Every structure is written in C-alpha cells, then in structure tokens.
Structure 1
Amino acid sequence: MKYAAAIVFYNPDEDAIKRISRYSNNFDEILVIDNSEKEKINIANELMHYENCLYHKMNGNEGMAKALNYAFYRAIEREYEIILTMDQDSLYTDENIKTMKDFINGNFDENVGIYSPNYSKLYFDEKLNAFIVGKPVIKKSDIKRVDFCMTSGSFVNVKALKKVLPIDDYFIGYVDNYLCARLTEMDFKLLRVGSSCFNQQVGGKVKNTIFNRIFNILHHAEIRYYYMFRNNLFLQERFKKNFLLKTRSKIDLIRIMVNIIIGEENKWKKIKACETGYKDFKRKIMGKVPDESITW
C-alpha cells in the first residue's frame, strides 16, 4: 500500500523538525504544512535533507482545517491509499507506526475511514519535572469500533476522503470531530487499534493531580476556548440529525464551562471568550476569529 504522512507545523522548535526524520523512514511521502505566522527559511532548508519530504508554507496561520484539506487533496491527487495526520508536538514511535501499518496491510477494509491508535494522556509531575503517561484508553489486545478519534495519529483511508471533503473551516477546535462525523455519516467505520500506542498532550501542561485527571482540565488559552465553544455549536447545527453527537456536544459545552470555573486560571477572560464564540456562531462567522471579536 502507498502511505503518506502530513505533519502540521506552527512555530515549531528544533525537536519538532528533527522528528521528521522518524517519519521519513516510514512513509512514501512526508508533507510538512507550515502554519507559522512568519516564514523561517531554516525550516525549509533542514527539511530538504529528506528526499521524500515536501514543505508547503501556508499564508500565515490558516488553521488546522485548511491545512488538512490541503494535505488530503494532495493525497488524493498523488493516489496514496493511506495518509497519517500528525501535529508537531505528538510523538509516534517507529515501532508503533510499524505495528499500525502491519495491521492495516493485513486487515485493510475499504469501509474503514480511519485506523486510530490506542493512546494515553500525558500529565506533568512537578516533583519529577517530567511527564507521566496515563492509562491507555483500551487494552493492547483490543480492536474497538469508535465514533470519534483525534486527528493526530490517525491513519486515514484516502478513498473515503473523496466522499467527505472539504472539511468546513473551523480553523481549530472540533476539526477532528467534524471529520469523524462526516465519515460515519457516509457509513465508514472508525477503528481503534490497541496494539499501536501513542502518547498525547492535549491543551497546556496539565499537572499530575487526581483533580486534573477526573475533571480533564485542559488549560487552553482564551482564544482556544473561543474556537471550541463556537465550533461545537457549528458542529451541532451541521449534524443536527445525529442525536448521539448532539447530546455529547451539549455535554461537552457544559464540561468546558464547569472546568473553566473550577480549575482554570483567568476564568473571566475564558468565559468571555466562550460568550464571544457563541455570538460569532449566531453571526455565522467561521474561519479565523475576526480582530473585532477579540474583546476579552
């Protein structure tokens, strides 16, 4: 099978750039999509060392949705069969990439839209000054059908993408929810493969406390909560016939507000950002937040 990988950059550090070497050995083509506000010539120069790596600079930060649309349409054009999508901060080891590819090669099903890895959340332990890996979401021996998986770490069936593109311009936040909902709407399955494991840090540096593990405190910036609140409402509107998705999305909004109130810093600013997200949803504003909306 022909495999491509797409990694989305946003002001990457040296470690993110070095991780490209890991992916270049495992895929026929590596597509690096740079959403950084300013162009850094050294990034393009460093990536030139990899023959199968293509660097594409977006026009500033155009968001995750546009970056993924670019990657997916290129995968279709180049006739790849599977494309892995990654963000710059996530780490997917050679061993686990190989495990997933072996599984797909031996069990490929054209009705599966995404093969998603097992994952563990990362929590920061201040005493150890290191990240602690949480419990995997499923057993390593399990293969589970799910209705949602994160974009980062997902192996996506390119033929399935032909039936669901483009992704609506949510910019960031709920982009992966949208893609999963579109695929399931078109009767594609989403599979989580327990034997291929992946560590994921979502949001800011989350301290390793029982409180944070129970309430899933994210410590996002205010602007991220704007997108999460706004795009959650757009998702509910777009998939209003999907009762399960609508119910979970409404619960998600409640969870966001409760978590801000009980566990976040800068509570008022984050609540204000959510309120602005609601107002921009009512005004049907998608894409990047307008400058005039940033009032928090």
Structure 2
Amino acid sequence: IKSIAERNNLSYQGDGINHGIAYSLTQGAITAKSKGFNYYLTFDQDSTIPDLYVDNMKEAINTDPMIGIIGPVYYDINDGRYSRFPVMHNKLLVRREVFSDNEGIKDAMCIITSGALCRTSIFDEVGYFLNEYFIDYVDNEFCLRLLISGYRVCVYPKVVIQHALGNRKKKFGFSPTNYPYYRKYYVTRNRLHVWKKYFKYYPAFIAYDFSAFLFVL
C-alpha cells in the first residue's frame, strides 16, 4: 500500500498494528490539521463515489458554519436500498427517513463516516474520535457529540455513493447486518456506552436506537 501511495503522490500512515477505526480516524484528523488542511473527508474501503464529489460536499458544508459534519445518501449494494437516517421531530419522536435527491440539505441525528466531510477546526472544539470504541458506533457517538455542542449533523441528498453496510441479505422483508461475533460485541458494548452517556440529552433517540439494535443482532 505504501508503494502505491508514493507512486500516486499520496500519504500513507500505518504501523502494521490494528488499532481500530477510531484510532485511525483520529490519527488522520491530527495529520490533516498539522498539514494545514481545512477539511477532513473519510471513506470506507468499499465505497464508490461520483464525479465532483469533493466539490459538491464542500459547497454544501459551506452553506452554514454550524454544519459540523455532512454526508451523502448511500445506496446499499447488498440489499438494494437507499439509506434511511434518524430524524428528530421533537423530544419524543425520532423516525428513520429516506431523503429524495430533489431535496436540499437535511438534518439528521447521525450519519456514517463513509463519505462524511467535516472541517478540521471542529476537532478543537469537540475533540477527536473515541479510540476506546475501536470499530463500531464511532460515527454515531461523534455525531451526538456535535449535536450537544450546538452543531448540525446533515445529509446532502443530491449526492449518492455506493456502499456495503455489513453483510446484508434481504430475507422475509428484513435486512440484518449479519456481522461476525466480534463486531456484535463492539456494537453492543459501544451502544450501551452511548445510551448511558447521551440518554439525558436525547431519550427519544436512545429509544429509537434500541429498536434498531434488535435488527443488528
């Protein structure tokens, strides 16, 4: 990977040890800040993006300085569906919604890290990703932290990426993620930590997330 990066004028960081995605995201953010970059864009290894992706996402985030992070709609190549996002209508109601591509920037409670764009300055205020989470729920915790700090978590429906969420296979109308056992451990552990930490701020979201959790298992 390092040799490929060097041939393409890219920077590669890694020590051969699996520190987890949260640690890697944090190290990338620290490097971006140290090199003077204003934006931080993250992807999963299986994401496919359209042309002008970066330009469109930068344009979207710059419509409001209070947008803490913004992401696209993603099309799940495993189950053939477009993403649904948790949207808070009031303190007692959070629902999953699909955004159409003719809508403008929409607010959500959480987005995934794949395709997400934020300003590097945001880390000075809210901190970095939680290394102890290792892999799962890193994105959700960061989004909730942004929200309680007064920032918006947004989706730009005009931009769509292809992404594989877990190992989904639609059966009897449901699409469980079919994660391996170790992923289910981190999903459960980290979710419980988030529920305890953010229940006083967003009880409706925690109730919503509990129901969503049943499908992950």
TM-score by length of 1: 0.63
Q: How far apart, CA to CA, are the structure 1 residues paired with 2:115 and 2:74?
A: 9
Corresponding position: 1:219 with 2:178: yes
Output the amino acid matched with 1:193: Y
Moved over 4 A (4+): none
- 1:251 offset after TM fit, Å? 2.0
- 1:173 offset after TM fit, Å? 0.7
Q: How far apart, CA to CA, are the structure 2 residues paired with 1:197 and 1:159?
A: 26
1:256 corresponds to: 216
What is the alpha-carbon root mean square deviation over aligned residues?
A: 1.9
- 1:210 offset after TM fit, Å? 5.5
Map 1:112-131 onto structure 2 (within 5 A): 112-123=67-78
Output the amino acid matched with 2:143: C
Q: How far apart, CA to CA, are the structure 2 residues paired with 1:138 and 1:45?
A: 40
Q: How far apart, CA to CA, are the structure 2 residues paired with 1:186 and 1:123?
A: 35
1:215 aligns to what SS in structure 2?
coil
- 1:246 offset after TM fit, Å? 2.1
Larger of the two Rg values belongs to structure: 1
Q: Which residue of the other structure, out of 135, 140, 157, is the alignment partner of 2:101? A: 140
2:40 corresponds to: 83
1:292 corresponds to: none
Unaligned runs of 5+ in 1: 1-42, 125-132, 258-296
Output the amino acid matched with 1:251: S
Corresponding position: 1:170 with 2:141: no
Unaligned runs of 5+ in 2: 84-97
Percent of pairs identical after alignment?
25
Number of aligned residue pairs: give it. Answer: 200
1:117 aligns to what SS in structure 2?
strand
Q: How far apart, CA to CA, are the structure 2 residues paired with 1:149 and 1:199?
A: 15
Output the amino acid matched with 1:103: A
| 1:80 to 1:228, Cα distance in 2 relative to 1, 3 A | same
1:68 corresponds to: 25
Higher relative contact order (CA closer than 8 Å, sequence separation 6+) = 2
1:151 corresponds to: 113
Asked whether the equivalents of residues 112 and 157 of structure 1 are also in contact (C-alpha less than 8 Å), the reply is no
1:64-106 alpha-carbon deviations (Å, 9 max, x no partner): 11011111122222232211111111111224343323434xx
1:250-284 alpha-carbon deviations (Å, 9 max, x no partner): 22333334xxxxxxxxxxxxxxxxxxxxxxxxxxx
Corresponding position: 1:233 with 2:195: no
1:196 aligns to what SS in structure 2?
strand
1:130 corresponds to: none
Q: How far apart, CA to CA, are the structure 1 residues paired with 2:53 and 2:4?
A: 25
Q: How far apart, CA to CA, are the structure 2 residues paired with 1:163 and 1:135?
A: 32
From the two aligned structures, give the one with the greater helix fraction. Answer: 1
Q: Which residue of the other structure, out of 141, 146, 155, is the alignment partner of 1:192? A: 155
1:100 aligns to what SS in structure 2?
helix
TM-score by length of 2: 0.84
Output the amino acid matched with 1:80: F
2:5 corresponds to: 47
2:95 corresponds to: none
